[in-house]
A and B are shown apart, each in its own frame.
Chain A
């Protein structure tokens, strides 16, 4: 009994700092953000208040819903593209490579994170500009210039730069944990390789694949750098709207409304995605 109680004290001691950290740097700021959304701004100064005017103001604006639609659809599109592009690579890494080469490939997928995301996005400008490397090459082979920068395509390329390596890594971890006996059984039962992938591999790795797509969605939904520097702010996302609102008249409470809407959207998406991922699993 004494031993158990000592153990409890021991585990409580070590779990305390993370708890404090979460409370101080996540729960409290989140609560403050919610409170801030009910405050008002008087002559560029945010003042404690209790008004719903910020919520009404934002939800009545057509540009907010348009931004919301674009942010959601670009993030969803990026998740689908990233998942589809990543899957063949992940499958190959998981099933075809030897353990040693697999380790090297996985390490190479981590390398992009060594460089700042902002730097990587800036370097994309050199490639995507109308006078950039890609268009120079297209011009050389006789294809006309293609507008890539300051377009939705530019934003999606940026989102993929941020999330694709992570999606591949998560998919690889998921595919690597599939029971190989299931795959072999499918082969033995004369199931074609393509059918095996769709009927055995994907369902068995469903949780990991959904989680990878979910992470991609979360990262893209909140990203500010790509839509500004590769999208040229021509498609206004919610993160850009937050910046615009806080710049114009210091409307931090209105920006807080947008931020809370984003958080609620991400929580709802996560809940639905996890429900789908674990559907039918114990």
Chain B
């Protein structure tokens, strides 16, 4: 109960700070785009409804409220869990059902191939303000054609209970084999991040691009930790098992879960081990035949602007690193503690340095095997 209050008060404090700083910075170019949007608001018109397909949290008040007010619209969100689920929801809906689709980067080209998303005009979006790594992000472009705009990212490594495990121990995936963690290792129930981390541990420079021999070595190595595993968890189960101490270590999750728990006072952390970590990247697309194409474009513009980016970095559901360099400047003013916690401080060793020094690799779909092969192994692993 106290923790809940603490979380709420932290969020409220952040919002107040945000409003304060946003007012103070009203003259800066970063927020300049908001004023015209406010001016164009038609006070008497009924609000339009913009549909959004996304992971949980992206359509909540803390993210979309200002956009809704500025554009006299309501964002109606449909949430999914996992890329397969997202593709299925789009595939089973008539074209035009979703105006905006938030996708994990590895699924964007599949969306494009299936004709589920529109081609975008690069000049509509502030790529010049983006970190170079996210300007021509692999998987968002097909040749010179843009299909998605990067929104945020995070790293996946080893998450652990800092009361019982030291940072030094957590700096290697070998922790998962440690006898003292028997029955204390958990899995987020998705093969892609788990096997990707295992592949990093085995020294594969491209964790998802491995030949059959290496894939077999990966599966047999992974099988070795099955006896250590206490449970396979969904989103909610991962939170509660880490919070109540049932699980002491996990691989393949990151600050998107432990960051929320940390804010709540739980002694859990995530580190990128010596063997390296993975990067997840979320991006925004416009759905094919979107009924509110103009609003969808404005929404992506808003979310890629410093204000939208800062909101995204502080998202109550799960925080993440942001891709707009100018937004880092605003973040330092609005929520400096979050900028520090998420290592998004300019001029210091930060998350971009981690990408540049090769410590993290993009999470992708398997290259030399089918997704089904990886999934089949995961079912066998769960059943062993």
Q: Which residues of A contact B (CB under 8 A)?
A: 43-46, 61-63, 66-67, 125, 129-131, 147, 149-150, 228-229, 232-234, 236, 241, 244, 247-250
Going nearest first, the 9 A-B pairs with the smallest beta carbon separation are A232-B231, A63-B383, A233-B232, A250-B88, A150-B231, A44-B91, A45-B91, A44-B87, A248-B375
A62 to B231, CA, bound (A): 21
Instruction: Please determine whether B84 and A44 come into contact, CB atoms closer than 8 angstroms.
Output: yes
Question: Nearest residue in A to B371 (C-beta to C-beta)?
Answer: A249
Q: Does any Cβ of A come within 8 Å of B230's Cβ?
A: yes
A132 to B147, CA, bound (A): 49
Chain A proximity of B235: nearest CB distance (Å)? 13
The contact of B244 among A61, A62, A67, A131, by CB within 8 Å, is A131
Q: Does any Cβ of A come within 8 Å of B212's Cβ?
A: no
Contact status of A247 and B376, CB under 8 A, knowing A129-B244, A129-B246, A234-B229 = no
A44 to B372, CA, bound (A): 12
Contact status of A247 and B183, CB under 8 A, knowing A63-B380, A130-B245, A232-B231 = no
Contact status of A43 and B91, CB under 8 A, knowing A234-B229, A249-B84 = yes
Q: Does any Cβ of A come within 8 Å of B49's Cβ?
A: no
The contact of A234 among B232, B237, B371, B379, by CB within 8 Å, is B232
Question: Nearest residue in B to A147 (C-beta to C-beta)?
Answer: B183
Chain B proximity of A129: nearest CB distance (Å)? 6
Which residues on A sit within 8 Å (CB–CB) of B239? none
Instruction: Please determine whether B376 and A149 come into contact, CB atoms closer than 8 angstroms.
Output: no
A248 to B372, CA, bound (A): 8
Residues of chain B in range 79-105 having any CB-CB distance to chain A below 8 Å = 82, 84-85, 87-88, 91-92
A147 to B379, CA, bound (A): 24
Which residues on B sit within 8 Å (CB–CB) of A250? 84, 87-88, 91
Question: Nearest residue in B to A235 (C-beta to C-beta)?
Answer: B383
Instruction: Please determine whether A67 and B245 come into contact, CB atoms closer than 8 angstroms.
Output: no
12 new A-B contacts, CB < 8 A, other than A66-B383, A229-B237, A233-B232, are A43-B91, A63-B380, A129-B244, A147-B183, A149-B246, A233-B382, A234-B232, A236-B382, A244-B382, A248-B84, A248-B371, A248-B375
Which residues on A sit within 8 Å (CB–CB) of B371? 248-249
Q: Does any Cβ of A come within 8 Å of B62's Cβ?
A: no
Which residues on A sit within 8 Å (CB–CB) of B244? 129, 131
A147 to B87, CA, bound (A): 39
Chain A proximity of B199: nearest CB distance (Å)? 19
Instruction: Please determine whether A63 and B230 come into contact, CB atoms closer than 8 angstroms.
Output: no
Q: Which residues of B contact A (CB under 8 A)?
A: 82, 84-85, 87-88, 91-92, 114, 183, 189, 229-234, 237, 240, 244-246, 371-372, 375-376, 379-380, 382-383
A249 to B375, CA, bound (A): 9
Question: Nearest residue in B to A231 (C-beta to C-beta)?
Answer: B231
17 contacts between A and B (CB under 8 A): A43-B114, A61-B376, A63-B380, A131-B244, A149-B246, A228-B234, A229-B237, A233-B231, A233-B232, A233-B382, A234-B231, A234-B382, A236-B379, A241-B379, A248-B371, A248-B375, A250-B87
The A/B interface has a contact count, at CB < 8 Å, of: 73
Which residues on B sit within 8 Å (CB–CB) of A131? 244-246
A45 to B93, CA, bound (A): 10
Question: Nearest residue in B to A240 (C-beta to C-beta)?
Answer: B382
Instruction: Please determine whether A150 and B230 come into contact, CB atoms closer than 8 angstroms.
Output: yes
A80 to B279, CA, bound (A): 49
Contact status of A234 and B230, CB under 8 A, knowing A130-B246, A149-B246 = yes
A233 to B238, CA, bound (A): 13
The contact of A247 among B85, B372, B380, by CB within 8 Å, is B85
Instruction: Please determine whether B380 and A62 come into contact, CB atoms closer than 8 angstroms.
Output: yes
A46 to B232, CA, bound (A): 27
A250 to B91, CA, bound (A): 10
Chain A proximity of B53: nearest CB distance (Å)? 14
Which residues on A sit within 8 Å (CB–CB) of B114? 43-44
A125 to B245, CA, bound (A): 13
Instruction: Please determine whether B379 and A244 come into contact, CB atoms closer than 8 angstroms.
Output: yes
Instruction: Please determine whether B232 and A247 come into contact, CB atoms closer than 8 angstroms.
Output: no
Instruction: Please determine whether A150 and B246 come into contact, CB atoms closer than 8 angstroms.
Output: yes
Which of A43, A232, A236, A249 has the most CB atoms of chain B within a 10 A radius of its CB? Answer: A232
Which residues on B sit within 8 Å (CB–CB) of A234? 229-232, 382
Question: Nearest residue in A to B113 (C-beta to C-beta)?
Answer: A43
Instruction: Please determine whether B379 and A63 come into contact, CB atoms closer than 8 angstroms.
Output: yes
A241 to B85, CA, bound (A): 16
Chain B proximity of A131: nearest CB distance (Å)? 6
Which residues on B sit within 8 Å (CB–CB) of A149? 246
Chain A proximity of B365: nearest CB distance (Å)? 12
Which residues on B sit within 8 Å (CB–CB) of A66? 383
Which residues on A sit within 8 Å (CB–CB) of B380? 62-63
